Amino acid sequence: MNHKPGPGSFALPRPAFFLSACFFQFLQSVFMQSPGTPPPVEAGISFGSNLGDRAANLRAAIDALAALPGVTLLACAPFYETEPVDVPEAFADCRYLNTVAIYAVALPLDAWSDRCHAAEDALGRVRTGYHHPRTIDIDLLYYGDAVRDEPHLHLPHPQIASRAFVCRPLADVRPQLRLPGFSATVAELLAALPPGGVRRWEG
């Protein structure tokens, strides 16, 4: 059941790619029929890159997670070019490409978090300083209904509602999603944000 895309499988980040809720329920039923295997949980991931070949970095990261055992890609939003947020002045012109992908994940939360960090390292992420340019940034947005508040993991991501570069692509693939602790849907969160700073990237 794993989605294992080949090289260049996301060469065109438009239109948004998604699988239906019925397919996700089918995946759950398949896993539930295998004793000892937990049913998959829907998990949202935000990707960003402002160093090197940004689009190639995003595609490689999306594919790397989709290739993991127990992980299936359900949806991928278009790419958006965005202005850097809260970066040092020297990097103010290093614009990001951002997107969001949705996965069905049959891994425990901590293992999923570890795999995401490992993918960053494998794709050349070097942590040189606070909000410095990076080849890839992978952020966990949500993992089912999980709520976590720990130094290394906060779920749902506490800045979803304030970041258009997250809300815009997430609204493309899960507009009616209502995250734990949020009274508004993702589409409503996006509508409440000021316009500007995010534009569809056509490549």
Would you say 156 and 166 are in contact if contact means Cβ atoms under 8 Å apart?
Answer: no
Q: Which residue has the tokens 């993992």?
A: 143
Supply the pLDDT for residue 82.
Answer: 87
Would you say 45 and 66 are in contact if contact means Cβ atoms under 8 Å apart?
Answer: no
Query: Which residue from 5, 160, 173, 176 is spatially nearest to 74, judged by alpha carbons?
Result: 173
Supply the pLDDT for residue 132.
Answer: 65
Tell me which H or E stretch contains 114.
helix 109-122
Supply the pLDDT for residue 12.
Answer: 36
DSSP bridge partners of 154: 149
Which structural domains are found in the chain, ordered by start? 32-154 (3.30.70.560)
pTM, two decimal places: 0.79
Residue 197: count other Cβ atoms within 10 Å of its Cβ: 16
Supply the pLDDT for residue 196.
Answer: 81
Supply the pLDDT for residue 40.
Answer: 94
Residue 158 burial by Cβ neighbours in a 10 Å radius (0-12, 13-18, 19+): exposed
Q: Cis (ω within 30 of 0) for the bond into 156?
A: yes
167 Ramachandran zone, left/alpha/beta (phi>0; psi -120 to 50): alpha
CA dihedral 57, 59, 62, 67 (to 10 degrees): -110
Would you say 94 and 54 are in contact if contact means Cβ atoms under 8 Å apart?
Answer: no
In whole angstroms, give the CA distance from residue 188 to residue 200. Answer: 19
The b-or-e profile of 120-145 (16+ CB within 10 A means b, else e) is beebebeeeeeeebbbbbbbbbbbee
Residue 91 CA: distances (Å) to CA of 8, 79, 85, 86, 96: 29, 21, 10, 10, 11
Q: Mean pLDDT per segment of 10 residues, for the chain of length 203 residues?
A: 39 42 47 61 96 94 96 97 71 81 97 95 70 84 96 91 94 97 96 90 86
125 secondary structure, DSSP code: -
| Amino acid type, 142 | Y
